[in-house]
Structure 1
Amino acid sequence: MPKLVYDFAEGNKDMLELLGGKGANLAEMTNLGLPVPPGFTISAEACKVYLATGSVPAELADEIDHHVDALQQKMGKKLGQADDPLLVSVRSGAAVSMPGMMETVLNVGLNDDSVNGLAHQSGNPRFAWDAYRRLIQMFGKTVLGMEGDVFEDAIEAAKQAKGTTNDLDLDADDLEALVDTFKAAVREHTGRDFPQDPREQLDLATEAVFGSWNSERAILYRRQERIAADLGTAVSVCSMVFGNLGMDSGTGVAFTRDPSSGQPGVYGDYLQNAQGEDVVAGIRNTVPLADLEQIDKTSYDALMEIMATLEGHYKDLCDIEFTVERGKLWMLQTRVGKRTAAAAFRIATSLVDEGMIDTDEALKRVKGAQLAQLMFPRFDSDASKELITKAIGASPGAASGKVVFTSAAAVEAADRGEKVILVRRETNPDDLHGMIAAQGILTSRGGKTSHAAVVARGMGKTCVCGAEELDVNVAAEKVTVNGTTFGPGEMISIDGTTGEVFLGEVPVVPSPVVQYFEGSLAPDAGDELVASVHRLMTHADEIRRLGVRTNADTADDAARARRFGAQGIGLCRTEHMFLGERRESVERLILSENDAERDAALAELEPLQRGDFLELLEAMDGLPVTIRLIDPPLHEFLPSMEDLAVKVALAKERGEEPGHEVKLLAAVQRLHEQNPMLGLRGVRLGLMIPGLFAMQVRAIASAAAELRKAGKDPRPEIMIPLVGAIQELQLARDEVEGVLNEVAEASGVEWSTPIGTMIELPRAAVIADQIAEAADFFSFGTNDLTQTTWGFSRDDVEGSFFSRYLEKGIFAVSPFESIDREGVGSLIRTGVERGRATRPDLKLGICGEHGGDPDSIHFFHEVGLDYVSCSPFRIPVARLEAGRATLD
């Protein structure tokens, strides 16, 4: 077993996976000479052993002993020392930031004896008993599994007895009594006394932090943020410094730039006479960080200097936690800070302008998911709005929904398809389910560094914090503001940029970023965010290898996709053209009883199809348009068997003759399949129903010929779906080529039309070398390839057991959302390699929903595809991620 414990001076910021973000950055700050309290970090490797076996590694105790001894010598005092105790914090720290999701225990080392020594040494008995109270409260909840309400209720009772609502009004005697109450509660609820041995406290706290890696909220957060489940967490043990020694002490969180907007300046929160959890919990409202200059200018000036040092060193926005202990500034943590989507783009380009990073690095620092957030609508500034209150805009966006007061209510409402706003005094990590389910979060306490703000920003969720005018009564399920009371179900709207809260639903308008992509807002029109997006999108387009096409079936969709930067159509689903009024023609085709009736039905459909393709090819003039011949089973164009059976039965009851319905019912019964996804569809339809594919190809070719005569440059590509054997593709190709030649001869116009296939069956991927003999291109249909590889019917399984699979860790993310690299991805890789082994110039693309998924796009770049195709709205995301993929 390698070394498990590292002194802060032994690590650095690049040891994230071993020491976690907190430990690695404490080490980095220590080595930069910044004022960091001494301590050590227990590595994530020890956590992995604990999670796998239920016990810490056998050698861990000796290593901790060694580092505790060294820390005691450095500090000149010992854990549990009666006259002057050494106290430590035990804090989690994963390689990827998971704010508030795991556990922390402060003031480890206090007991019934050492609390008196701390009171004597500090000259502040109130502080000592408050520190002991905090230890028992955190230890009880975090380590011993007690409900937090047990302690909160006791604190509220003590304040009521004192006739106050402020924790600071409780004196030393009150807090000493509260300690006795807490210890009695521990005994009552756990059957054991609060441990007095400091080393036992340290060991139990460490194991509790390890165990919190697999807490429900941590698992949920990892799933939401797609963080690997096997990383584990490190544990940093740091000598305590105290911000609750009086009004000359305090604690705060600082950002080197505004995490909401990206603007440079002094941003953060400060709270006098408090410990760190008081700031992030939002229990007491903070003051802006700038106020520290008046409160303690020496500490403020030192902090500004350190903030500049850290931003220059990390070359990025830094999130800093600090404590002032009787006028002395201490750094407790730094990390590259979470930020909103808008801030991410602004900061990236600002750092380029400041010479800190180059444009490649700037592109790495923004993500497609952030760009998607910037494309969401915003409130219409011209709409009439009833302002309730204005607070702190903690995470931008425009969100409207019904008021709910609990996470459970938010989840239940979201499951019913309702949009909700979660309203709380403050959130805590247990609220994560509700925060995910809600459209936005509104709190009456806390600031930009509260739990609600930090987690909401990380999720891209709209959030307004610190609405002090709101009197939120969760138990009574009501909110009162300025004499007006409203309860569950009341519609409100929150603006996470301005901090405004409105009564009712406020209309929205397109975001400036969408207006830029649509071409209605120039990149130099003065909008700083749009300018940043433009710069990074331009760079992504310059360096990306992957082309980006769109999935579009109408000219309107094609035109919008083209404005968004599509380089063609990667999938036109022709079956969508048979819906609506055209169903009757399709019904006649299906009900035809002889060649003449079938040909007549096809003749009805051909001019309609030609009109469709004229519009589509003209909208994409000069760009490739991949047209998939009809794919789904024919019965999908007919009424349901159940509906028809009811109609026939009712008609007979009325004495009517349901002739047409009887014919339809017979056709539906004839075409009915137990597994239609695996039945008569795709290329099989073309081979079994004479003239069907020929009609479509003739319509495509005729439209292309007409446009060429008009001086246009149509570029159709014909795709044959669901091929599993080279013989299927060759037969279909022969028919397609025959029709193309007929139209070319009849029109006097010649052109080249690539003919390819959709790879959506595992067999097709495995024999891609054979199929490539008859194909000019492959397009991987990852929706069906995922279904046929996993044996899932997406429509059936996503709503039935996928949630359980996600909960149990079988999936980290749905394989229909992000490509399954090990299974489906392996088949794609095989298809690419074997297809190009036969035909090196084979064009390769993907047209499933995965074409717009950022993680999947990086995989498609890696395996050598030529393009991805996605829905029009996701094209900018795909362009950005295709550029980022070249930098991996």
Structure 2
Amino acid sequence: MEAVTAVQNRVYLFGGDQTDGNREMKNLLGGKGANLAEMSALGIPVPPGMTITTEVCKEYTDLGRDKVHKLLREEVETAVGQLEKTMGKSFGDPKNPLLLSVRSGARVSMPGMMDTVLNLGLNEEVLDGLIEKTKNERFSWDSYRRFIQMYSNVVLGLKPKTKEDLDPFEEVIEHLKEKRDITQDTDFSVQDLQDLVYDFKDIVLKRTGKEFPSDPWEQLWGSIWAVFDSWNGDRAVYYRKINDYPGDWGTAVNVQAMVFGNMSENSATGVCFTRDAASGEDRFNGEYLLNAQGEDVVAGVRTPLEITKNGSKRWAELAQISEEEREATYPSLEECMPDMYKELLDYQQQLEDHYRDMQDMEFTVQEGRLWILQTRNGKRTGAAMVKIAMDMKEQGIISDKEALLRMEPNKLEELLHPVFDTEALKESEVIAQGLPASPGAATGQIVFFADEANMFKNTILVRIETSPEDLEGMNRAKGILTARGGMTSHAAVVARGMGKCCVAGAGALKINYKDRTLTVDQKEFQEGDWISLNGYTGNVI
């Protein structure tokens, strides 16, 4: 596909028959928008959409919502019309509905710091049409409950009332799982999902005094404003502060046609790296979930499976799982979707060759068709930074000068971080096993809440899963331990970017925020108790 000169002032198209931008336009389109345009021009399968520029974010800050709506409305409506034409569907049409995703995209990668809304455009009439069109009642209700939960959290601001509380929607989900004696979201029946939708709507009505919005255009504009607002949210401001990014850059907004990893067991979603982000080894790796959406992987809601067969075997060895059990219960994408794996393997090599750097990619498989949702230069540890640069120099991909310029001084400091004495490790008691999400060694006293990470001189932040709101506490703690999530979860990606020791997905941990306790194998640890993390092995000591 040929890239064409942009005619829009504030909105740029990508995918389908028209791609307005390219990789050099990240200051205007944000990194995500620029790379989506670049991939579209390369012929890589990207769901079509539009990017609202970073300049609009600045206008939003300076002029306010009402004025920007007047400036932007015609271009957005025209772009949605173009998207409808490309997809052969109509936004808000119950008979042939087009659903959208809305994502942020600053010029630099800020993982999890700003907001995302998926499955946008659903209401009860559109839901009926989606069920009729797809003949898939479970998928349709699952998408609706996901949309209500995400929109309510991001746009309506319905979050836990206190730090000891669970997310109000997750609390309902967990209660229903206990009642039904199930452990995974994928085990919910259609009736369960219907019950969740009605319960979620009841939460919205009680907490806001208003019905959940049913107008698709109201939903779209609400999501766009929420992304712009998130640029100046506490977590994004703090992330910019610790990385010394200017506040006047602004974020772009990417609106895309939805593709669905939660449509069936022949659908999936995942995150992958062209090289190992922790060690720098030249091996393709990543994680995926069957019958899921992308937020399930990065948010750590479910602990995902490995993409490659070799990676799956390494994981099973760490988790002390037999090969027979691994093949039956925890298969790799390479094994359960070999054609999709081969296609993904080809695209990851094409993108690394094109960008001449390690890539962090997100993908979705919808009913046997692969879509690439994002690519960006991947966050990496200091050790990985050195190895990737030196390997790429030796492989003739980059020059000596480029290799030298890729050495970030603050990352080189990580090479001096402490490690455990090998003799002391032999005498230590391993209380739990997780994934070695970010290397290093950390010893500290347990805290359960990010805002209390400075309660003791040396702390280990222990969470069921981390969220972007935990950023400041993650930065202050010596190490991070989570019960859920994998190597591509928010905790893992942010910890590697910070050079912080992290063990993720230690599934044996039972964490009670209200009691401030951690229980494993009937042994209870309380706030202030000492534990250690080995980020090289995933051991909790």
The match for 2:29 among 13, 19, 38 is: 19
Q: For residue 168 of structure 1, what is the aligned residue in structure 2?
A: 186
Give the alignment of 1:156-235 within 5 angstroms. 156-235=174-253
Following superposition, the deviation at residue 272 of structure 1 comes to 0.4
Residue 459 in structure 1 maps to residue 498 in structure 2? yes
CA distance in 2, matches of 1:257, 1:464: 20
Q: For residue 291 of structure 2, what is the aligned residue in structure 1?
A: 273
Amino acid at match of 1:301: K
Following superposition, the deviation at residue 183 of structure 1 comes to 1.5
Amino acid at match of 1:331: I
Following superposition, the deviation at residue 166 of structure 1 comes to 2.2
Following superposition, the deviation at residue 127 of structure 1 comes to 0.8
- Quick check: 2:262–2:290 contact (8 Å CA) kept in 1? yes
The match for 2:404 among 338, 344, 363 is: 363
CA distance in 2, matches of 1:292, 1:143: 34
Following superposition, the deviation at residue 320 of structure 1 comes to 0.3
Q: TM-score, normalised by structure 2?
A: 0.90
**Residues 427-473 of structure 1, C-alpha deviations (whole Å, 9 max, x = no match):** 01111121111001011111110010011111111111111222222
SS of the aligned residue for 2:84 comes to helix
CA distance in 2, matches of 1:377, 1:476: 32
CA distance in 2, matches of 1:258, 1:473: 33
Amino acid at match of 1:299: M
Q: For residue 437 of structure 1, what is the aligned residue in structure 2?
A: 476
- Quick check: 1:20–1:44 contact (8 Å CA) kept in 2? yes
SS of the aligned residue for 1:52 comes to helix
- Quick check: 1:392–1:467 contact (8 Å CA) kept in 2? yes
Between the two structures, name the one with larger relative contact order (CA 8 Å, sep ≥ 6): 2
The match for 1:130 among 142, 148, 158 is: 142
CA distance in 1, matches of 2:200, 2:27: 37
CA distance in 2, matches of 1:98, 1:427: 15
Amino acid at match of 1:136: I
* More off after superposition, 25-34 vs 162-171: 162-171
- Quick check: 2:8–2:75 contact (8 Å CA) kept in 1? no
SS of the aligned residue for 1:59 comes to helix
Give the alignment of 1:10-89 within 5 angstroms. 10-55=20-65, 56=68, 58-89=70-101
Q: For residue 258 of structure 1, what is the aligned residue in structure 2?
A: 276
Q: TM-score, normalised by structure 1?
A: 0.55
CA distance in 1, matches of 2:407, 2:147: 40
The alignment yields a C-alpha RMSD, in angstroms, of 1.4
**Residues 196-233 of structure 1, C-alpha deviations (whole Å, 9 max, x = no match):** 11111111100010000011111111111111111110
The match for 1:5 among 11, 15, 37 is: 11
**Residues 5-46 of structure 1, C-alpha deviations (whole Å, 9 max, x = no match):** 000111111111111111111111111100101111110111
**Residues 777-820 of structure 1, C-alpha deviations (whole Å, 9 max, x = no match):** xxxxxxxxxxxxxxxxxxxxxxxxxxxxxxxxxxxxxxxxxxxx
Q: For residue 472 of structure 1, what is the aligned residue in structure 2?
A: 511
Give the alignment of 1:817-836 within 5 angstroms. none
Give the alignment of 1:781-860 within 5 angstroms. none
Ranges of 4+ aligned residues in structure 1 off by more than 3 Å: none
CA distance in 1, matches of 2:393, 2:451: 44
CA distance in 2, matches of 1:487, 1:457: 27
- Quick check: 2:358–2:377 contact (8 Å CA) kept in 1? yes
Residue 116 in structure 1 maps to residue 159 in structure 2? no
Q: For residue 143 of structure 1, what is the aligned residue in structure 2?
A: 155
Q: For residue 421 of structure 1, what is the aligned residue in structure 2?
A: 460
SS of the aligned residue for 1:412 comes to coil
The match for 2:485 among 439, 443, 446 is: 446
Q: Which runs of 5 or more residues in structure 2 are unaligned?
A: 1-6, 161-166, 309-331
Q: For residue 439 of structure 2, what is the aligned residue in structure 1?
A: 396
Q: Which runs of 5 or more residues in structure 1 are unaligned?
A: 503-888
Q: For residue 329 of structure 2, what is the aligned residue in structure 1?
A: none
* More off after superposition, 243-252 vs 166-175: 166-175
Following superposition, the deviation at residue 409 of structure 1 comes to 2.3
* More off after superposition, 222-231 vs 270-279: 222-231
CA distance in 2, matches of 1:339, 1:453: 10
CA distance in 1, matches of 2:282, 2:117: 33
Give the alignment of 1:626-641 within 5 angstroms. none
CA distance in 2, matches of 1:466, 1:306: 28
CA distance in 1, matches of 2:393, 2:235: 37
Following superposition, the deviation at residue 167 of structure 1 comes to 1.5
The structure with more radius of gyration? 1
Following superposition, the deviation at residue 57 of structure 1 comes to 5.4
* More off after superposition, 96-105 vs 119-128: 119-128
- Quick check: 2:360–2:375 contact (8 Å CA) kept in 1? yes
Give the alignment of 1:544-555 within 5 angstroms. none
Following superposition, the deviation at residue 408 of structure 1 comes to 2.3
Q: For residue 386 of structure 2, what is the aligned residue in structure 1?
A: 345
**Residues 644-692 of structure 1, C-alpha deviations (whole Å, 9 max, x = no match):** xxxxxxxxxxxxxxxxxxxxxxxxxxxxxxxxxxxxxxxxxxxxxxxxx
**Residues 396-440 of structure 1, C-alpha deviations (whole Å, 9 max, x = no match):** 111110011111221333xxxx10000111101111121111001
Give the alignment of 1:624-703 within 5 angstroms. none
Write 1 or 2 for the structure with the bigger share of helix: 1
CA distance in 2, matches of 1:296, 1:157: 33
Residue 486 in structure 1 maps to residue 525 in structure 2? yes
CA distance in 2, matches of 1:316, 1:457: 17
Amino acid at match of 1:197: D
